[in-house]
Structure 1
Amino acid sequence: MSTDGGSTVQTGRLAKPEGVLAPRYRWVSVGMCLLVTLAAFEALAVTTIMPTVSRELDGAALYAFAFAGPLAVGVVGMVVAGTWCDRGNPRTVLFASVGLFGAGLILAGLAPTMGLFVTGRLVHGLGGGALTVALYVIVARVYPPPLHARIFAGFAAAWVVPSLIGPVIAGAVAETVGWRWVFLGVVALVVLAMLMVVPAMRGVHGPEERPAGGRTELVRAGLAALVAVAVLALTLAAGSRGPVQWLVPVFAAAAAVAALRPLLPVGTLRARRGLPSVILVRGIVAGTFFSAEVYVPLLMVTQYGASPAVAGLALTAAGLSWAAASWAQGRFPAIGHRLAARLGALGLTIAIASLLVTALTGASPVVVVVGWAFAGAGMGLLYPRLGVLTLEYSTPADQGFNSSALSIADSTGSAIALATTAIAFSALGGAASPIAFAGVFAVNGVLCLAAWLCGGRIHRR
């Protein structure tokens, strides 16, 4: 017998709580976690194999765009999917987002040129942004509240596992059967995941009452599109020369900031204490970490002649330290939010400093691997706390907006930082020049300083 919305079952004389792997939830739980795993694997795999893709498709000019583009259009996917879920059926949103996700993988895997490869990445990014929102809404519609924490823990585990083994596997696949199978091979797994999820989607429906405010939601979608266009222009400017390389970024950055303001809590761009600074710090640390990470394998491949599998070891080290630090921050309450912010900034600073020293002096690649592990540890300490603080500072009326703002800060912070480092990298000579790598990591150092300055403002007075 079930009670409490399906959260317990009667077994003999004792009521036993149902879990996310109970018969009624088993396949949808496994399927959704597999989708998260595949999304995480692709994010890490692309970072590992991009030096190989860039060399084979002669795509050095679009190297950073292949990372920043999907993040930028993902913001549009998040906003549109959120509105669609509120006004329609999240089941439809899930199917559409997975369709885009798979189509992007196929296009990238079959692309004969870098331009088509990037197009596939944009389609993949649009679907990935929408997929995240759809999964969260479906959790609310399928599972009773007592199981929400458990399925979200499953999502976290599904993201950590690929970070441990994904880079090495992607590198090995690229060296043996070819980098294209890193994309094409995942499509079959996406279909398998959907076969698990689809049966449970029959009972998922849209809201009984459609919310008002359609015009406001349309404006939000338009602003998200403007942010995406501005970031894409900012990234493309990295491959230009002359005045265009410097004028376009100024106007694009101004447009992105203007469009972002209504999508974030009031005072975010001024680092107001409390929630605004939490959102801002999330964008800063995401930008610091992910804009540096894409150059870590490239540094090892071009400057040290490392294979893709060996270059992926640095990403694996960061994944291990991220998982360990995440476990520690949840296990020891003595690590308060403010201390976590300082330790997170310290880990990133040590990592960026080690990369900068390596680029300038030609130090052993072991320094890169060890140093990047500090970056993972810093993110593992700080990232979960920023999510917790966002919910602490939210009320039921604004939980959706604030959660969306956190995701938007993640994506746009990373995309803008990637565009900025790409401009520095291109202006200083590209992959053939150690100074270009030093310029990238110097930009990351400025972001580390911003994380230190804003980290102390995540608490209200």
Structure 2
Amino acid sequence: MTTTDPTDVLPDDRPERLLDRRHLPVVVGVVALVTLAAFENRAVQTVLPVVVRELDGWALFGASTGAGLVMFTLGMAFSGRWTDRLGPRPVLLGGLALFAGAQLVSALAPTMLVFVTGRAVSGAAEALIDTTLMVVVARALPESLRAKVFASFAAAWILPSLLGPGFAGAIESLAGWRWVFAGPLLVVLPAVLLLRAALRETGAAGASADPGARARIAASVVLAAGLAVTTFTAPLLESADTRAVGLPLVLGGVVVVLLGAARALPRGTARLARGLPAVAGTGLLTAAAFTAVGGVLPLMLVTTHHVSTAVAGVSLTVTGLFWAFGSWLNSTAPAQERFGPGTRARAGGLLIAVGSLGPVLLALDLLPLAPGMVGWALAATGMGILSPTLSTQLLALAPTSGQGRASAAQSLAGATGVALQTAVVGGAVAWFGPGMDGPRFAVLMAAGGLVALLVALGGGRVVPGRTARGEGARPVG
């Protein structure tokens, strides 16, 4: 009697999984860093009012969030190029070192100005980390797993959205707000150790010559300057005495942002030229649409429906849960096999547009709270489908030597969309002040729904060309 090794006659053709032994450390490491960023985001939102009160920094309240966005934009001007030239390892380690320094500066800040400096450094660190994590995913994991790992990124926001505010509030009550910023440092080292093997294998990809690099960096600096102007001059719209100065400054800042974005983003972004430009442009429109609704939803609930901050915070929980659900839905085999990235992008935009009607009707007091939140859940599901679709399509289209630059451009496009919409919303809130009633909130949110319709109409352009049987014939995500 002879024995035969089963592997000699039964080849191992099982599909690869995220939890396979060789992928698990990378997956756990990147998800840990995303979870860290999510907890930090929710924690900062929770304790920021306490920080402002204790440091007597009311005048710099807007700067504490705006400074991070400005430095994120500047960081994106360099992160992609550095990642392509040096490989993700040194750039990621540099970003984590900056993050650790920013947390320490914020935790030890004796004045609000120092605290704002820490938040600014944190924005630069986020730019480096975001770009390198995208490249690590592209080089360390097979293409078939990318949609699933981006779904896990969205899932990594669930616990922070549910527990982050309460956890941060408990730390603040027991030990003080400064420990909220020091605590995340405990996660950095374990995550780096898990990623160590993958980072060793993902060296520089031999970046090709980039003659337009200097022009794009200059354009990104201009873009950041415009963001700074729109962020820090919006309070001038609050008083009739300063509007004559504030309105031209805000509008001028928006123009500067648009001019900078036109040069910093891939050529053809504004007209959604097929391929990578359409991916960046769709990301910009999606970020603007979603921010137009989600960015004012808690304020609208508190202002017009007079609910508690805890109830208003339910919108953040709905966002986290259903964004993760949409990402999971996008990652399933039926979705990937039957629907191409263009179809999924259009579907996501349509869900955001339709779902925005819930908050709009809620603002007009034509719907009660629960049905309005159902609409918002639909919009969050659409965002969950769209976001990983754009990320996987970006990595599929970008050459290996340009993955860093492409990832940075995508992040920069999203930040630009958020910044432009934040300027509009912030300007309106500053202008009307206590007069911000339901109809005015409804107008702002309806505008976001209209932008989402543009995504639904143009989402198919993220696919470079058409196939004989439709763009869904070969799934890329």
Instruction: Compute the TM-score of the two structures, normalised by the length of structure 1.
Output: 0.80
Q: Quick check: 1:406 aligned with 2:406?
A: no
Q: Is the 8 A contact 1:321 1:380 kept in 2?
A: yes
Partner of 2:351: 347
1:234 to partner: Cα distance: 0.9
| Structure 1 pair 118–284 and aligned structure 2 pair: CA distance change class (3 A) | farther
Distance in 2 between the 1:439 and 1:300 partners?
A: 13
1:346 to partner: Cα distance: 4.2
Partner of 1:327: 328
| Structure 1 pair 41–156 and aligned structure 2 pair: CA distance change class (3 A) | farther
1:286 to partner: Cα distance: 0.8
Q: Is the 8 A contact 1:47 1:294 kept in 2?
A: no
Q: Quick check: 1:426 aligned with 2:430?
A: yes
Q: Is the 8 A contact 1:172 1:308 kept in 2?
A: no
- 1:384 is aligned, of 384, 388, 394, to 388
Distance in 1 between the 2:445 and 2:92 partners?
A: 35
Partner of 1:161: 156
1:231 to partner: Cα distance: 0.8
Distance in 1 between the 2:317 and 2:125 partners?
A: 26
Q: Which segment drifts farther, 182-191 or 389-398?
A: 389-398
Distance in 2 between the 1:232 and 1:79 partners?
A: 16
Which consecutive residues of structure 2, in runs of 5 or more, have no partner in the other structure? 237-241, 467-477
Distance in 1 between the 2:110 and 2:307 partners?
A: 25
| Structure 1 pair 102–159 and aligned structure 2 pair: CA distance change class (3 A) | farther
1:32 to partner: Cα distance: 2.5
Please tell me the root mean square deviation across aligned C-alpha atoms, in Å: 3.7
Residues 258-291 of structure 1 deviation map (CA, whole Å, 9 limit, x = unaligned): 2222333333223456654443232112122135
Distance in 2 between the 1:349 and 1:64 partners?
A: 29
| Structure 1 pair 60–79 and aligned structure 2 pair: CA distance change class (3 A) | same
The residue identity in structure 2 corresponding to 1:243 is A
Distance in 2 between the 1:210 and 1:348 partners?
A: 37
Partner of 1:236: 232
Q: Is the 8 A contact 2:154 2:324 kept in 1?
A: no
The residue identity in structure 1 corresponding to 2:453 is W
Aligned-residue identity in percent: 32
Partner of 1:4: none
Q: Secondary structure at the match of 1:268?
A: coil
1:185 to partner: Cα distance: 2.0
Distance in 1 between the 2:357 and 2:444 partners?
A: 11
Q: Quick check: 1:43 aligned with 2:41?
A: yes
- Aligned ranges 1:275-294 → 2 under 5 Å: 276-294=277-295
| Count of residue correspondences | 443
Q: Is the 8 A contact 1:289 1:348 kept in 2?
A: yes
1:176 to partner: Cα distance: 2.5
Distance in 1 between the 2:326 and 2:84 partners?
A: 35
Q: Is the 8 A contact 1:237 1:244 kept in 2?
A: no
Q: Secondary structure at the match of 1:428?
A: helix
Q: Is the 8 A contact 1:90 1:137 kept in 2?
A: yes
Distance in 1 between the 2:138 and 2:26 partners?
A: 13
- Aligned ranges 1:108-123 → 2 under 5 Å: 108-111=106-109, 114-123=112-121
| Structure 1 pair 318–442 and aligned structure 2 pair: CA distance change class (3 A) | same
| Structure 1 pair 387–374 and aligned structure 2 pair: CA distance change class (3 A) | same
| Structure 1 pair 173–305 and aligned structure 2 pair: CA distance change class (3 A) | farther
Q: Quick check: 1:94 aligned with 2:98?
A: no
The residue identity in structure 1 corresponding to 2:161 is P
| Structure 1 pair 377–140 and aligned structure 2 pair: CA distance change class (3 A) | closer
Q: Is the 8 A contact 1:76 1:225 kept in 2?
A: yes
Partner of 2:419: 415
Q: Which segment drifts farther, 220-229 or 265-274?
A: 265-274
Q: Is the 8 A contact 1:230 1:252 kept in 2?
A: yes
Partner of 1:6: none
Q: Is the 8 A contact 1:359 1:434 kept in 2?
A: no
Distance in 1 between the 2:346 and 2:11 partners?
A: 45
The residue identity in structure 2 corresponding to 1:254 is V
Partner of 2:373: 369
The residue identity in structure 1 corresponding to 2:163 is I
| Structure 1 pair 342–457 and aligned structure 2 pair: CA distance change class (3 A) | closer
1:237 to partner: Cα distance: 1.4
The residue identity in structure 1 corresponding to 2:39 is F
Partner of 2:472: none
| Structure 1 pair 57–347 and aligned structure 2 pair: CA distance change class (3 A) | farther
Q: Is the 8 A contact 1:168 1:309 kept in 2?
A: no
Q: Secondary structure at the match of 1:456?
A: helix
Q: Is the 8 A contact 1:68 1:416 kept in 2?
A: no
Partner of 2:475: none
Distance in 1 between the 2:21 and 2:330 partners?
A: 33
Distance in 2 between the 1:383 and 1:28 partners?
A: 21
Partner of 1:442: 443
1:244 to partner: Cα distance: 2.6
Q: Secondary structure at the match of 2:427?
A: helix
Partner of 1:253: 254
Residues 187-238 of structure 1 deviation map (CA, whole Å, 9 limit, x = unaligned): 212233224334664565445x56434x632332232222112112111111
Distance in 1 between the 2:418 and 2:87 partners?
A: 30
Q: Which segment drifts farther, 61-70 or 248-257?
A: 61-70
